[in-house]
Chain A
Amino acid sequence: MQNIKELLVNKLKENFKTDIESVTEFQGTLTVLINKSRLIDVCQFLRNDTDLHFDMCKDVVGVDYYRPEFRYEVVYNLYSLKNNFRFLLKIKLAEEDMHVPTVVNIWPGANWPEREVYDFFGIIFDGHPDLRRIYMPEEFEYYPLRKEFPLMGIPGSLELPRK
């Protein structure tokens, strides 16, 4: 377990150098923050490297930190069946540029999780084959997991029977 972690961090640092922005470990969860522009390269490397072989993308999570710079984060939960090892790969996203390249071509299982992130945060996954809302109705105009969306909802945002 320990050596896989070191191997992963060393390989990433070796191949992507300054694009690996930070490597943190908190309560046993390893998190690697990378530059958004290299996301596809890093993912392809992780998927195809014979030693690491991260063959499952278990989940894609959007987080709204509600801060002035780089408001959103997208977290990829990657798992390697070969090594039984899991870590979180993160990118930061500015509010002005809500576009992220899709990883569906690398891990087809990321399809619905990416749709979910789009549904809740309005983050657009470029190149996604079927980017539609998944939980909320198609006519819904807001992104409910953004922090400014009120818990009670917005009156009039869903069509109700007329009086």
Chain B
Amino acid sequence: MFESKEKLTKSKILEALENQDVSIYFDDPLDSDMVLNMGPQHPATHGVLRLLIRLDGETIIGTVPDVGYLHRGYEKLAENMTYHEFIPHTDRLDYLSPLANNVAYCLAVEKLAGIEAPRRAQFIRVIASEMARIMSHLVAIGSTAMDVGALTVLLWAFREREKLQDIQDIFTGVRFTTSYARIGGLAQDMPEEAINMLKDFIDQFPEKLGEIEKLLLKNRIFIQRSEGIGVISKETAIAMGITGPNLRASGVAHDLRRDEPYLVYNELDFDIPTYEDGDALARFYVRIDEMKESVKIIRQAIEKLPSGPINAANPKRVIPSKERIYSKMEELIHDFMLINFGISPPVGEVYHAVENSKGELGFYISSMGQGSPWRLKIHSPSFINIQALPILLKGHLVSDVVAIIGSIDPVMGEADK
């Protein structure tokens, strides 16, 4: 259908130079402003984010963010694989909280296919999502503090994150790319050992978090570098579509866990921390408070954790357990059909979003009744949050760039898909 071209198009600037085209605009090197290229390999951009910043002296007068350096074409890949096969790819979206991404994707597919996971699975999914939130916020806080010069916080935050990763290792089998949730349930049950470890963790975590807080909140350098920096007003934040902690730091109490309840969040008691200032410090406070709320949620979920099956009884849609596949004919047939042809949800389109650590992570799935999605669109919060960077950066000094990027906490795996 397409012919491969012999000669590729030249860049516009090169072409203009060759044609001696004077209409194209170049920077005058003797002008008072300059363009600074930051990234994509800059350590403080939290991945491969590239910013083109126009500076007047040290003041930023304009920014053009450039994303796409980590683009892997997941939406195209998803159209060419079954619904189950896509689960490992969701790990690699927001790679700081893979557990929550798995849950988000499976919830979207379950909504499409009309499956409901059993209650035990739903509680474990809540625990997993909140663990992921703590893990992600710890990195956000640690790396922001490191960017503004407080290295200790990073080490202390990663020490706590390490404990959570050990727990994750027990119940998922891996430390990083978990692929834990399955359509209609979970890959495996959460063992008693993991629950006990988690209980120990949430007993000691608030105290450790207090230590981290103490390191920063009475630290004059940290406060001065984040207070009043990167302010975004309530109205602008809503208009730009920002979600998650960044929106709540601007005074909008919008949290999908309460506004569009999914899983068993409406049975659990938790607050939604909001701050009015909308600056980098407020975003930091929101993350600290959210971790405390997550501890509350995990504690309640462990208390209420019911016993029972972890996979829905829907043999045409949910992959059966390995023991049954190897011993029962019926399950073997279902397994063969599910692996080779996929679940075939009804024709239609759904959108399901969850409140992830970065904001609203949603999946729009359009199904034609086949084993693979006709169109799968990932609504990633980091992508939308980065969009607001030019507004946040305008008028600040070049040294504030790292503090502001750190405070909106983008993850490029998710923004670039």
| Contacts from A to B (Cβ < 8 Å) | 26-29, 31, 55-59, 61, 63-65, 75, 77, 81, 84, 86, 88, 107-113, 120, 134-136, 138-139, 141-142, 144-145, 148-149, 151, 154-157, 159
B16 interface residue (CB < 8 Å to A): no
B150 interface residue (CB < 8 Å to A): no
Contacts of A139 in B (CB 8 A): 8-9, 11
Inter-chain contact B416/A135, CB cutoff 8 Å: yes
18 further A-B pairs in the complex, CB-CB below 8 A; given A107-B241, A110-B241, A120-B75: A27-B114, A28-B111, A29-B111, A56-B238, A63-B366, A65-B374, A88-B364, A109-B387, A134-B67, A136-B68, A139-B8, A139-B11, A144-B76, A145-B75, A149-B76, A151-B77, A156-B4, A157-B5
A26 with B5: in contact, given A63-B366, A81-B238, A145-B75 (CB under 8 Å)? no
What's the least CB distance linking B122 to chain A, in Å?
A: 17
- Distance between Cα atoms of A65 and B377 in the complex (Å): 14
Inter-chain contact A55/B238, CB cutoff 8 Å: yes
Contacts of A28 in B (CB 8 A): 111, 350
- Distance between Cα atoms of A75 and B362 in the complex (Å): 14
Contacts of B383 in A (CB 8 A): 112
- Distance between Cα atoms of A64 and B373 in the complex (Å): 12
Inter-chain contact A29/B9, CB cutoff 8 Å: no
Contacts of B77 in A (CB 8 A): 151
A61 with B8: in contact, given A27-B350, A56-B238, A109-B384 (CB under 8 Å)? no
Contacts of A107 in B (CB 8 A): 239, 241
What's the least CB distance linking A25 to chain B, in Å?
A: 9
A151 with B68: in contact, given A29-B349, A59-B362, A108-B239 (CB under 8 Å)? no
Inter-chain contact B360/A58, CB cutoff 8 Å: yes
- Distance between Cα atoms of A81 and B350 in the complex (Å): 20
Inter-chain contact B375/A64, CB cutoff 8 Å: yes
Encode B114-137 as 1/0 by CB contact (under 8 A) with A. 100000000000000000000000
B240 interface residue (CB < 8 Å to A): yes
What's the least CB distance linking A82 to chain B, in Å?
A: 11
- Distance between Cα atoms of A116 and B346 in the complex (Å): 28
Inter-chain contact B350/A134, CB cutoff 8 Å: no
A134 with B68: in contact, given A27-B112, A154-B2 (CB under 8 Å)? yes
Contacts of B67 in A (CB 8 A): 134-135
- Distance between Cα atoms of A15 and B243 in the complex (Å): 31
Q: Which of B307-355 contact A (CB under 8 A)?
A: 346, 348-351, 353
What's the least CB distance linking B276 to chain A, in Å?
A: 16
The chain B residue with its CB closest to the CB of A159 is B8
- Distance between Cα atoms of A145 and B71 in the complex (Å): 13
- What would 15 A/B residue contacts be, using CB atoms closer than 8 Å? A28-B111, A55-B238, A58-B379, A58-B384, A65-B374, A75-B349, A107-B241, A108-B239, A110-B241, A112-B384, A135-B71, A135-B416, A144-B73, A156-B5, A159-B8
What's the least CB distance linking A133 to chain B, in Å?
A: 8
Inter-chain contact B364/A61, CB cutoff 8 Å: yes
Binds A, one of B50-58, B91-99, B252-260, B284-292: B252-260
What's the least CB distance linking A31 to chain B, in Å?
A: 6
Inter-chain contact B238/A29, CB cutoff 8 Å: no
Q: Which has the most chain B C-beta neighbours within 10 Å: A57, A59, A134, A139?
A: A59
**Contact pick for A59, options B9, B73, B379, CB 8 Å:** B379
What's the least CB distance linking B5 to chain A, in Å?
A: 6
- Distance between Cα atoms of A75 and B114 in the complex (Å): 22
What's the least CB distance linking A138 to chain B, in Å?
A: 8
- Distance between Cα atoms of A57 and B387 in the complex (Å): 13
Contacts of A58 in B (CB 8 A): 241, 243, 353, 360, 362, 379, 384
Inter-chain contact B349/A145, CB cutoff 8 Å: no
Q: Which of B218-248 contact A (CB under 8 A)?
A: 238-243
B17 interface residue (CB < 8 Å to A): no
The chain B residue with its CB closest to the CB of A30 is B351
**Contact pick for A86, options B4, B9, B241, B351, CB 8 Å:** B351
